[in-house]
């Protein structure tokens, strides 16, 4: 509690005590009892209450974020030339008063969503782009009162600056800036430029009315129903095109896989054929060498012996004409 509040509290206590004493004095008087000493006490309490009330009314304590304009009958224009800054100040009790202004940052929001802004319902800014498209802009303006121009603000606007300055200046600046850009620029490459233009315009408008722009927030840009449908159709077309590209690429990959598989099978067949041919050559060479070795090992006696062995199991009785040899003629072992 500040010192001005302390004096005001003491003044309230003094007044309450004075009323209580007066009441007690009246009760005792009505009962024909002596009320000696109550008069003195009432006078003391009355003086104390008046003094404390006067001091409490004359002391003004301003918080760190507060400035005040002194309304006074002692000046021709009705106010002091200098505003009061934070701290404890003295004004003429009951003749002068103060109008307080906060220099803390304040936020004014205009939004399409109910409950987000200062006004109930849709409070977004309806604007038209350079190519005639409708957009709905959600925005927040963060600003503060310029402490160096409190007197001018009080003269021109008093406490009406939010509705009469911040709101109209911001909405006009947004509409003007949006009208300089096409719809595609706003949603792509030029959004930063749009926000900068709006910030500059609002800053200038507030400065001319003794306010300071701290920041501007371009919260959201919504499109009209017509353009939203066009964007949706475009996105669908893009998705279909991307799907077609994906299908083509998939077919290419499948064809490449089939080609590689066929190439692999062909290479495998060539390798298998080459292996079979090499194996056949090796086999033929082995057979030739075997036949060569076999031919070198064959002798007339061996051939006759093998002939006899092959013939003997099937021969039980042999009739030999007189004058002929005992054994049938042996095959010739002489090469033809």
Domains of the chain: 3-102 (no CATH), 106-223 (3.30.479.30)
Q: Which residue in this structure is represented by tokens 């082995």?
A: 286
Question: pLDDT tens across 144-171, in order?
Answer: 999 999 999 999 999 999 999 999 999 9
Structure-derived torsion over alpha carbons of residues 267, 269, 270, 274, reported in degrees to the nearest 10 = 140
Question: pLDDT tens across 277-298, in order?
Answer: 777 788 878 777 777 776 676 6
Q: Which residue in this structure is represented by tokens 């021709």?
A: 76
Cβ 7 vs Cβ 55: under 8 Å: yes
Between helix 191-207 and helix 167-178 the angle, nearest 10°, is: 150
On whether the pTM is more than 0.85, the answer is no
Q: What is the DSSP letter of 329?
A: P
Question: pLDDT tens across 52-91, in order?
Answer: 888 888 899 999 999 999 999 999 999 999 999 999 999 9
Question: pLDDT tens across 315-324, in order?
Answer: 555 555 555 5
3-state helix, strand, coil in the chain (%, to 5): 55, 15, 30
């Amino acid at each position: 509690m500040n010192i001005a509040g302390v004096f005001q509290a003491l003044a309230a206590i003094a007044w309450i005590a004075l009323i209580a004493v007066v009441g007690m004095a009246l009760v005792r008087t009505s009962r024909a009892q002596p009320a000696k000493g109550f008069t003195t006490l009432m006078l003391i309490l009355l003086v104390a209450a008046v003094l404390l009330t006067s001091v409490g009314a004359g002391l003004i304590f301003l918080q760190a974020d507060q400035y005040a304009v002194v309304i006074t009958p002692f000046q021709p224009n009705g106010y002091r030339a200098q505003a009061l800054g934070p701290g404890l100040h003295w004004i003429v009790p009951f003749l002068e008063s103060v109008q307080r202004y906060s220099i803390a940052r304040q936020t004014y929001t205009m939004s399409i969503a109910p409950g987000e802004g200062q006004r109930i319902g849709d409070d977004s800014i309806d604007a038209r782009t350079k190519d005639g498209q409708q957009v709905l802009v959600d925005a927040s303006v963060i600003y503060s009162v310029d402490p160096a121009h409190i007197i001018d603000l009080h003269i021109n606007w008093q406490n009406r600056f939010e509705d009469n300055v911040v709101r109209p200046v911001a909405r006009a600046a947004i509409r003007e800036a949006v009208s300089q850009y096409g719809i595609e620029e706003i949603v792509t490459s030029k959004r930063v430029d749009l926000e900068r233009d709006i910030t500059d315009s609002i800053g200038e408008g507030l400065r001319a009315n003794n306010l300071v722009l701290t920041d501007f927030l371009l919260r959201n840009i919504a499109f009209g129903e017509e353009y939203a449908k066009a964007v949706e159709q475009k996105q669908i077309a893009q998705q279909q095109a991307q799907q077609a590209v994906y299908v083509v690429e998939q077919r290419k990959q499948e064809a490449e896989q089939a080609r590689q598989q066929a190439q692999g099978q062909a290479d495998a067949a060539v390798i298998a054929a080459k292996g079979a041919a090499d194996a056949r050559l090796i086999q033929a060479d082995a057979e030739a060498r075997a036949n060569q070795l076999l031919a070198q090992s064959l002798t007339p006696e061996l051939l006759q012996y093998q002939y006899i062995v092959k013939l003997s199991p099937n021969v039980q009785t042999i009739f030999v004409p007189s004058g002929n040899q005992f054994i049938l003629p042996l095959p010739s072992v002489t090469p033809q």
